[in-house]
Structure 1
Amino acid sequence: MRLTILGGGGFRVPLVHRALLDDARRDAPGRVTELVLFDTDSMRARVIKSVLTAQAEGVPGAPSLRVADDLDDALRGTDFVFSAIRVGGTAGRVRDERIALDEGVLGQETVGAGGVLYGMRTIPVALDIARRVAEVAPDAWVINFTNPAGMVTEAMSTVLGDRVIGICDSPVGLVKRAAQAAGADPDRVEYDYVGLNHLGWLRGLTQDGQDLLPGLLRDGAALATFEEGKLFGADWLRALGALPNEYLQYYYFRRETLRAVQESEHTRGEFLDRQQGDFFARADQSPERAYELWQRTRLEREETYGAATRAASGGWQRDSCDLEGGGYERVALALMRAVAGDERARLILNIRNQGTVPEIDREAVIETVCEVGAKGAQPLPCGPLREDQLGLMLQLKAVERAVIDAAVDRDRQAALRALALHPLVDSPAVAARILERSAG
């Protein structure tokens, strides 16, 4: 089976490759035997190829590896496409974040003004990719990693329909940590999770017919053992009656997180731009050390992940079990196996709503629990949302759809609407200035 990774020079590609090597060691049925990388930056693709080559050393049955010359070459004959592009690179993220912060609002890359600007820049490119997939590899499945994952998946679905599925590692990480805190086996629990990408809630956690979530919410000591419990605090989690995705920290504690980001010496984008720039330059000069340099850089990246939001909630170090990185690659491979081998699986995915949340358009992409098999993913029935949950979902979906309209039609009014309606942008005047500066 052939897998193509678009954005193949991305820093996290070795995490996907590591999971593929685990399959090779187990001689897993239906495993990937050929991996194709494509990236518009040939230097980055060359460096990542060096990392993967070293990582695969001594692994019997490791997938063959090649870097494609162009997009059509990468797509032709493939079975699955992982789309993990970053339009504008880390420099684009830095600019998005700084424009927003200069106006006194949060600029995280997928949340707030930063997410709006990133989405408008990314969606036209993602749509071009979707059209080439439809033309060159019409039987391929696209698994979208590209952020902002929800709106990018929704845009691509207008071309590819249900053959594009978005994934994120945040929900699966939340389920795993919550299950462990509740004393349950993460592989045995069932869960009720619903929302949009980077805006969702774990509302039920069941093992052997018993919902463990109410007991977990009552147990302050257990809540203090994992990231979301520390981020949000026991009192607020009990008031919500659910465990929010980590990204809801930006909405629930917007004043505190904004202040923490403003007081940081560097934005996250600036840190990654410097760190990754240094890694790629050094690894390109010394390809024999590429894997060693990648490992060291990856650990530093994971240790500093979410530093600003941790600072806003009292400051604490990430648990060692959360420093392995990734998580999304396991979701992606589980999804791929389920589709390729008709191995039934339940996964939290970004797919079209199809009536799961009746108040939201059927074609809109939501993030929820799905049943996956050879025919793709189907959302499972979902209980009614609380008004606070539904209200945030509706407002953010209006923002996402305005971003898509702005990107597709080059519609300035839609772009202004997307920025001004975002809960983290507090004024249409601020939105207009952000939009003007982003176009400059």
Structure 2
Amino acid sequence: MKIAVVGGGSTYTPELVDGFARLGSMVSELVLIDPAADRLEIVGAFSARIFQHYGHPGKVTWTTDLDAGVTDADVAVIQLRVGGQAARIEDETFPLDCGCVGQETTGAGGLAKALRTVPVVLDVAARIRERARPGAWIIDFTNPVGIVTRALLDAGHKAVGLCNVAIGFQRRFAAMLGVPPASVVLDHVGLNHLTWERAAYVDGVDRLPGLLSTHLESLAADVDLAPSVLTTLGNVPSYYLSYFYAHDRHVAESRGAQTRGQRVAEIEATLLDLYRDPLLAEKPALLGERGGAYYSEAAVGLIASLHGSDPSAVHSVNIRNNGLLPFLPDNSVVEVSARAATDGPVALPVSPLAPELSGLVAHISAYEEIALEAALLGGRQRVYRALLAHPLIGQHDRADALTDKLIASGAQHLAWAR
């Protein structure tokens, strides 16, 4: 199997490479693709050393030529970041001027990222479809995953969106229960970065009520929320729900503080220095602070299942709704637990959502539909409509001001705004 990683010059890539190296002989070639040649050379050489460290027989190559890199690929992983960390830092700061949370996948920052990302991903995907092997899968890691995955599916691509939130909870719950992670099956449901863990089954028994009873303080701290939120909901929200349930606190804490993007930029600079060491052949501990914990495990597991290995494994994926949440249109994209085989993921049964969950899901899903239209067609009015529709904004004055700030901060990446 040939796997192409678009955005392979990321300092996060060695985490993925470490996972692919553990796929064994299933991977014959791993090609990293990135326009940043200097950075790619460093990451590529280090990635090759990781394969060698594991004694992996496959080859690791790297190229700045997208068309050459994806030719004959069986799987293409897209993990690109248009504008790099500089654009992320803008996403995390300009909304604060209007009293809104600054975050790269939620609210105005998330919309800014979607606007500059969707057109690029669709161009990449079109070239993958032309040159990869027939039936090749696109695995989308690129945020905002729900919007990007819907764009890919709407364009007819064979794509699945992947997030690490659920696998992180699975690992956390398994450690608390003292069981192997694979034995924990989550009732994970919602939209990307808007999900809840409603159950954690081990041998068919839901162990989540017990976890909420014995580990409430720890779980609440993990998701940055008051324990009473978890007990009231009776579930464990994604930590991204903290931006909704504790919005004003996040805004207050963010003003004048270092952004996550600024911290990641510092980590990246140090990681690149480490990767330059020709003796380094294992991922450094600092990589754990880069973010994206367990992404490699999630990617490896899903890719293996899509190619006929371990069809009983359960994955958290972004797929078409198709009736899973009956209050959403079928063409919406939802994030649920699923099993996967060569013909794609099949969702586990989804029971009805409580109204406090379904209401927020419906609201954000509608925003995502408008956001995708803005990303595809551009225009100030479409951007304004998306911001007005978002529950964290939803006021004319804020939406109007944020529209101008968003366009000004991202104009260099928006063809229609230049």
| TM above 0.5 | yes
Question: Structure 1 334/215 Cα, relative in aligned 2: closer, same or farther at 3 Å?
Answer: same
Aligned positions of 1:283-322 closer than 5 A: 286=276, 288=278, 295=284, 297-299=286-288, 301=289
* Whole-Å separation in 1 of the counterparts to 2:9 and 2:222: 35
Given that 2:220 and 2:227 are in contact with CA atoms closer than 8 Å, whether structure 1 keeps it comes out as: no
Specify the SS of the correspondent of 1:204: strand
Question: Does 1:151 pair with 2:147?
Answer: yes
* Whole-Å separation in 1 of the counterparts to 2:219 and 2:82: 33
Instruction: Give 1:9's aligned residue.
Output: 9
Question: Which residue identity does 2:139 align to in structure 1?
Answer: I
Specify the SS of the correspondent of 2:197: strand
Given that 2:33 and 2:64 are in contact with CA atoms closer than 8 Å, whether structure 1 keeps it comes out as: yes
Worse-matched range after superposition: 103-112 or 173-182: 173-182
Given that 1:50 and 1:287 are in contact with CA atoms closer than 8 Å, whether structure 2 keeps it comes out as: no
Question: Which residue identity does 2:230 align to in structure 1?
Answer: L
* Whole-Å separation in 2 of the counterparts to 1:125 and 1:238: 42
Question: Does 1:338 pair with 2:331?
Answer: no
* Whole-Å separation in 1 of the counterparts to 2:243 and 2:53: 44
Q: Residue deviations 1:229-254, cap 9 Å, x none?
A: 56324322110011111111111111
Specify the SS of the correspondent of 1:206: strand
TM-score (ref. length: structure 2):
0.91
TM-score (ref. length: structure 1):
0.87
Worse-matched range after superposition: 119-128 or 422-431: 422-431
* Whole-Å separation in 1 of the counterparts to 2:207 and 2:269: 45
Aligned positions of 1:369-388 closer than 5 A: 369-388=337-356
Instruction: Give 2:137's aligned residue.
Output: 141
Instruction: Give 1:79's aligned residue.
Output: 74
Question: Structure 1 289/403 Cα, relative in aligned 2: closer, same or farther at 3 Å?
Answer: farther
Specify the SS of the correspondent of 1:288: coil
RMSD: 2.1
* Whole-Å separation in 1 of the counterparts to 2:367 and 2:81: 21
Question: 1:22: how far off?
Answer: 2.2
Instruction: Give 1:239's aligned residue.
Output: 232
Q: Residue deviations 1:346-387, cap 9 Å, x none?
A: 211011111100111111110001120111112222100011
Worse-matched range after superposition: 327-336 or 179-188: 179-188
Question: 1:274: how far off?
Answer: 3.6
* Whole-Å separation in 2 of the counterparts to 1:236 and 1:328: 27
Given that 1:35 and 1:63 are in contact with CA atoms closer than 8 Å, whether structure 2 keeps it comes out as: yes
Question: Which residue identity does 2:114 align to in structure 1?
Answer: G
Instruction: Give 2:246's aligned residue.
Output: 253
Specify the SS of the correspondent of 1:15: helix
Specify the SS of the correspondent of 1:351: strand
Question: Unpaired segments of 5 or more residues in structure 2?
Answer: 409-418
* Whole-Å separation in 2 of the counterparts to 1:53 and 1:184: 34
Question: Which residue identity does 1:98 align to in structure 2?
Answer: T
Given that 2:88 and 2:104 are in contact with CA atoms closer than 8 Å, whether structure 1 keeps it comes out as: yes
Question: Structure 1 399/290 Cα, relative in aligned 2: closer, same or farther at 3 Å?
Answer: farther
Question: 1:184: how far off?
Answer: 4.3
Question: 1:277: how far off?
Answer: 4.0
Question: Which residue identity does 1:167 align to in structure 2?
Answer: L
Specify the SS of the correspondent of 1:437: helix
Question: 1:336: how far off?
Answer: 0.8
| Runs of 4 or more above 4 Å deviation | 226-230, 289-292
Specify the SS of the correspondent of 1:341: coil
Question: 1:287: how far off?
Answer: 5.1
Q: Percent identity?
A: 32
Given that 1:181 and 1:223 are in contact with CA atoms closer than 8 Å, whether structure 2 keeps it comes out as: no
Q: Residue deviations 1:88-114, cap 9 Å, x none?
A: 111111112221122221111111111
Instruction: Give 1:116's aligned residue.
Output: 111
Specify the SS of the correspondent of 2:362: helix
Instruction: Give 2:296's aligned residue.
Output: 329
Aligned positions of 1:11-410 closer than 5 A: 11-24=11-24, 31-137=26-132, 138-161=134-157, 163-219=158-214, 222-226=215-219, 231-264=224-257, 266-277=258-269, 279-280=271-272, 282=273, 286=276, 288=278, 295=284, 297-299=286-288, 301=289, 326-344=293-311, 345-410=313-378
Worse-matched range after superposition: 388-397 or 62-71: 62-71
Question: Which residue identity does 1:17 align to in structure 2?
Answer: V
* Whole-Å separation in 2 of the counterparts to 1:227 and 1:63: 43
* Whole-Å separation in 1 of the counterparts to 2:13 and 2:49: 14
* Whole-Å separation in 1 of the counterparts to 2:108 and 2:39: 28
Instruction: Give 1:318's aligned residue.
Output: none
Given that 2:388 and 2:399 are in contact with CA atoms closer than 8 Å, whether structure 1 keeps it comes out as: yes
* Whole-Å separation in 1 of the counterparts to 2:225 and 2:156: 38
Question: Unpaired segments of 5 or more residues in structure 1?
Answer: 306-324
